[in-house]
Amino acid sequence: MTVKSMNRAELAIKYADPDWRRRYLDVVDLVSLLRDCIIEKSYRVSDDLNSAIALTEAGKKIRDQLITKEQVGAKEANVLTLLGLVHVEPLVDVAGMDIDRLQQAISQEIRSGALIYPFVFGRDLYDRAARLFPEERDYLRHDDTLRLIKDMPQGVFQAGHFLVGPYGIIRVSHYRTIHSTTVVPLQHCADHSCSQIHRVQLSTSFDAAVNRHRRALNKVLDQVAEEPSEWNGFMSDIAEGMFNTYAVNDVSTLPGLLGDAFSNDELKSILAHGSGISKGRLVATAKSLGLSGVSKTSVKDLNRSALLQILLTESDEQLVDLLVVCLSFA
């Protein structure tokens, strides 16, 4: 039996609690990090991730149907329901979920390399693609994707308050959107008049059980209702005002500037000089990640990915102050 979907106005009335909305945005951001990554065929859902998922009664029904009617493994069914997130109503228990526990579980999978993100800053990925794939590509098969990213550092992205990189997920106080993606700027085309770096779709393994059964999730959801509620519109409404797209002094391009315009040695110098400027924040962050601090000695062995993740724990406005002072020493 199907149930009636809700429009964005009905969703706004039913889910009016500000705390629920904040938690919902956090869950959406964490789920986006799970959706937009690369996994290998051998990927298995960890016990920590499985146990961190809390479903609503509607979500439990979806999970149980995946297990009993679609022959999906219990852990995979649990994660698939999390990835579904919402349909007519929430599939995930937003109010009851331990979001910190979910963050930590995903973070551990990133640190272990089970979840892989392409490192898109700088030109290392571009140069490797030029060596491996001299012909133009719109899409890389999974085996070619693995060849491209083998031994490359973890990508650095930020979904809301969740900053991703080689240290896993660091929750920061400032909101930022550097969306994780598997569509990456990788090649120039044969047209000499075209200066654009064209994007290439990298591919995850669809042989991994959690990906192989995506169609089963859609099938089960369609049996509940052909059309979901208007969650995208609701999401736009509650996120409205988080960014001022018309700000005169917009500094949201700073992460790209740091990632693409500075050398590794320059990033190390910025980080080392930033220990005093950041009023101890960068030092505290470094120590929480197992480093002794942010001196030239303590950061000398860090790669570009690690340097950027630590620096991006500062807000864009704080990074401006950091760069102004550091550049005065140049």
Residue-wise pLDDT tens digits, 162-183? 999 999 999 999 999 999 999 9
| Average pLDDT of the segment spanning 64-88 | 97
Which of 15-29, 30-44, 90-104, 230-244 is least confident?
230-244
- pLDDT score for 45: 97
How do residues 122-156 score in pLDDT, each as one tens digit? Answer: 999 999 999 999 898 999 999 999 999 999 999 99
| Average pLDDT of the segment spanning 30-59 | 97
Strand partners for 178: 158
Q: Are 100 and 165 in contact (CB under 8 A)?
A: no
- pLDDT score for 13: 96
- pLDDT score for 173: 94
- pLDDT score for 239: 86
Better pLDDT: 231 or 2? 231
Residue 320 in this model has a pLDDT that exceeds 70: yes
- pLDDT score for 325: 76
Residue 69 in this model has a pLDDT that exceeds 60: yes
Residue 3 in this model has a pLDDT that exceeds 90: no
Nearest to 56 by CA among 18, 29, 20: 20
Distance CA 121, CA 276 (A): 26
- Percent of the chain surpassing pLDDT 90: 78
Residue 291 in this model has a pLDDT that exceeds 80: yes
Lookup result for tokens 């770096």:
197
Residue 329 in this model has a pLDDT that exceeds 70: no
Average pLDDT of the chain is 92
Quick one: tokens of 276?
């005093």
3-state helix, strand, coil in the chain (%, to 5): 50, 10, 40
How do residues 190-249 score in pLDDT, each as one tens digit? Answer: 888 998 999 999 999 999 999 999 999 999 999 988 899 999 999 999 987 666 666 667
Q: Which pLDDT band, with edges at 50, 70 and 90, does 278 fall under? A: confident
Residue 274 in this model has a pLDDT that exceeds 90: no
How do residues 296-318 score in pLDDT, each as one tens digit? Answer: 889 999 999 999 999 999 999 89
Better pLDDT: 272 or 242? 272
- pLDDT score for 244: 65
Q: What pTM did the predictor assign?
A: 0.94
Nearest to 316 by CA among 262, 257, 255: 255
Q: Are 295 and 272 in contact (CB under 8 A)?
A: yes
- pLDDT score for 7: 95
* DSSP summary character for residue 123: S
CA distance to 162, 200, 201, per residue, from 176 (Å): 9, 24, 24
